[in-house]
Structure 1
């Protein structure tokens, strides 16, 4: 039986969320300033006040171009992708009652990665790459759900879905390997490989709608229905006994989590560990109650990926792929959790 769900006091939780929101704002402002082309804070505020409110200000056009066309899209992408992957991971961990679950469980990341790889191989534009990647991510999960539902037997439907997801992910990973094998090693292969490792350097203002809209469509229902994830902690039979349609609830969360994961991978490549580690970190801060866990995961995921992206573009003269940095942080953190034998993750 899962342990009884508890949480911090309401006032303390509210205070923690406020602190995180302020921290996110401060880090976001700092992120606009740092980089190879450094911007002063007064110049940033001058550009923002002039462009948004028409306040007369003095600044260079080069600084305005960097801030508006480069830093701002990248900042927003990091916030939305970090929040999306964290919430999807937390929702999946509650949905499947497994602490090892991440957003790519049902094949969304592998499918989206294959869609991007084949588009890059064919030399398509970045907008086309994102659209095809997004559609393949949805397709992979649709295949997983259709096959998983077909082969499930009675109470083993969740396990069937998980196992089918592993198989579908493996198939799409194999397809990605084939694409990389046949790609031109001098032109196409480096582009495909670098994209698959994850990065925000290619994000522009024109890319934001395709990223932000699906993420919002997926995030909002998950946040509104987050309290129902608490009911699944007691098991399907108990949840059904109090009137919860577990099959419908799982389908809703699978669809919404797939939307945000596919949109994230389509725009930024395959960024690992965020959806696995951040939910655990959020539980350590506010406890296992999903009413508070998901909002905290939103803020914590946004902060985490924003910091990782800052390190990626500032540490060396060339950008480090995000998946490398997230693994360098996530793997030791998760290993420490295993060594401590953390319990009560639900």
Structure 2
């Protein structure tokens, strides 16, 4: 998977629509200064961002599915994505959308979305914990989605509304080295925490009684991995906008490839997420002269892939 990731990264670096649709010849780079600047200043940071975002969303989806013992959970189902979108849209409305302010607001509201879902789930009086948390996440997501709709209604239709609309569709067209460097520390730290805790996820996926009998501080460790998962998700959304289905589809694929053991499944999800995101971004910027929003492609390919996986009868556990 790592070799495949590097191969896709290398090919993607030379793939585009300049000077023609297809791959740029390496020899041309020595003769065309514009091609050099295009690769070094536009494509390279964009590809790095797509790998980081794919790893973050896929890893967060895998962690949440294991912690909540539900293969249909992803950050978007727990209020994280919509809350981060609300924070970013609110900042665009209030201050015009300065880059670091949008990113900071998305991270803070993403964490707040998970916290509200958790508090609401504690107050629900019926159903198991997983059902209560999902119901709470749906309610919190709807609450923040209505807030985003209200912000779009209040936004200036000529100056603010286009920025909010394009941000909600998702895309990497505005990625620069500054964007990558602004989220690199938080995403790197969050992914490192998830990587180090991957072998504990097998324990955290068990029932509370079993985990307690093994001497594991389940609540504290679950909180740690959830905070790391939410942090990388919100940081990713803050520079790419809303990107759907990655956190749901890729963990399913990773389990089919490597099994249910998180020690193998989580690294596979990281690498698969990076590959999937690069492929989607390549399609978004090369299919047509006008770039297709990335969120549309990930939703389309993710939904089709999810249907194929769910209708297959072979499972690897």
Using structure 2 for the length normalisation, give the TM-score.
Answer: 0.91
Q: Is the 8 A contact 2:259 2:316 kept in 1?
A: no
Q: Is the 8 A contact 1:210 1:263 kept in 2?
A: no
Is 2:35 the counterpart of 1:35? no
Where does residue 282 of structure 2 map in the other structure? 310
Where does residue 331 of structure 1 map in the other structure? 303
Q: Any residues of structure 2 matched to 1:18-29 within 5 Å, and which? A: 20-29=1-10
Is 2:152 the counterpart of 1:171? no
Output one character per residue of 1:111-155: Cα deviation in whole Å (capped at 9) or x when no partner: 110111122223232232222222221222233334444x26799
Shift of 1:236: 2.1
Q: 1:139 aligns with which of 99, 112, 116?
A: 112
Unaligned runs of 5+ in 1: 1-19, 45-57
Q: 1:228 to 1:110 in 2, by over 3 A?
A: same
Q: Is the 8 A contact 1:116 1:266 kept in 2?
A: yes
Whole-Å Cα distance in 1 between the matches of residues 243 and 152 of structure 2?
A: 18
Where does residue 204 of structure 1 map in the other structure? 176
Q: Any residues of structure 2 matched to 1:87-126 within 5 Å, and which? A: 87-122=59-94, 123-126=96-99
Q: Any residues of structure 2 matched to 1:217-256 within 5 Å, and which? A: 217-256=189-228
Aligned residues: 312
Whole-Å Cα distance in 1 between the matches of residues 117 and 50 of structure 2?
A: 28
Output one character per residue of 1:58-94: Cα deviation in whole Å (capped at 9) or x when no partner: 4443222212211111010000000010010011111
Whole-Å Cα distance in 2 between the matches of residues 97 and 192 of structure 1?
A: 34
Whole-Å Cα distance in 1 between the matches of residues 227 and 83 of structure 2?
A: 15
Q: Is the 8 A contact 2:257 2:316 kept in 1?
A: no
Shift of 1:249: 2.0
Where does residue 270 of structure 2 map in the other structure? 298
Q: 1:115 to 1:231 in 2, by over 3 A?
A: same
Q: What RMSD, in angstroms, separates the aligned Cα atoms of the two structures?
A: 2.2
SS at match of 1:104: helix
SS at match of 1:166: helix
Q: Is the 8 A contact 2:258 2:265 kept in 1?
A: yes
Where does residue 263 of structure 1 map in the other structure? 235
SS at match of 1:317: coil
Whole-Å Cα distance in 2 between the matches of residues 195 and 64 of structure 1?
A: 28
Unaligned runs of 5+ in 2: none
Q: Is the 8 A contact 1:86 1:301 kept in 2?
A: yes
Whole-Å Cα distance in 2 between the matches of residues 338 and 27 of structure 1?
A: 26
